[in-house]
Amino acid sequence: MKAWHVRVPGAVETRPLVQTEDPVPTPGHAELLLRVRACGVCRTDLHVAEGDLPVHKASVVPGHEVVGEVVAKGAGAGTGFAIGDRAGAAWLRDTCGKCRFCVRGAENLCPRSVYTGWDADGGYADYTTVPAAYALRLPDDYDDAELAPLLCAGIIGFRALRLAEVPPGGRLGIYGFGASAHLAAQVAIADGARVHVMTRGARARELARELGAASAQGSADTPPERLDAAILFAPAGELVPSALAALDGGGTLAVAGIHLTEIPPLDYQRHLFQERRLRSVTANTRADAMEFLRFAARHPLRVSVTRYPRSAADQALADLAADRVNGAAVLV
């Protein structure tokens, strides 16, 4: 099979991805083997490729928004999926199931958690494996390319939205408007929120308005009204003070990225007083994933997708880095 590997992490301009011919993997005892039908290109893949995240597996195959067809099963994979089923492999690949976090339902904080496309080879390939217990059932009314971004961008945006604690009918600010944000905005609007988008790209602002945002302006601009909650999707720490300053009393800013540039000094009175809160979003639980996918089945989402052939994974990653993708990039 063909697969893309991060040979040596480095700036995307140096083309850190290399395509090779690899043997088709054999599923482990409790794993499924998936023939990859589509794989999203996530900003976390960019952080893995460029070395913003430390190397966990040398020469890893990135990709953790995998839509695949089950073509083989390990002896212990159970009966949840049959050969020929469509299944999803997402960022969270495995947890210990025994630590204090796992037993209280916070498996996203498990210190022994492992991740697709970082600790184990992912979906920038013709085939990949996934533990059956972490494979996801997918809603029917989306094609493969539309489903792929739901498996990280959608799930993380959904968790970030819940952690931001937007009150009923509240005012939500979204900073950055890529794959995750354009899905989270639709969920928030469906829940009755008024959404204001701050993002640097003119095309992204246009998409935000098309999807029902009440306003869309530059990334450092002040929204037209005080916010009850905000989510920072852009990996730009310099936007944290602006987002906090835009919050009304008691508001929460949720930072949704796995990597963030340095946050400038905060002024207590301007940025945090009046019980404003700053919190991070760390991965997701399987419960988050299942809840979001049930929502997506009930409330059809418009998934803005730019499709690339799997042979152009390096170009897709470069386009994502340069903000040339409006919505989500997907390998098909």
Cα–Cα distance measured from residue 152 to residue 160, given in angstroms and rounded to the nearest whole number: 12
Cα–Cα distance measured from residue 213 to residue 18, given in angstroms and rounded to the nearest whole number: 39
Kindly give the parts of the chain with pLDDT less than 50.
none
Confidence (pLDDT) at 202:
95
66 neighbors 128 (Cβ within 8 angstroms): yes
Confidence (pLDDT) at 221:
96
Confidence (pLDDT) at 24:
98
Confidence (pLDDT) at 184:
98
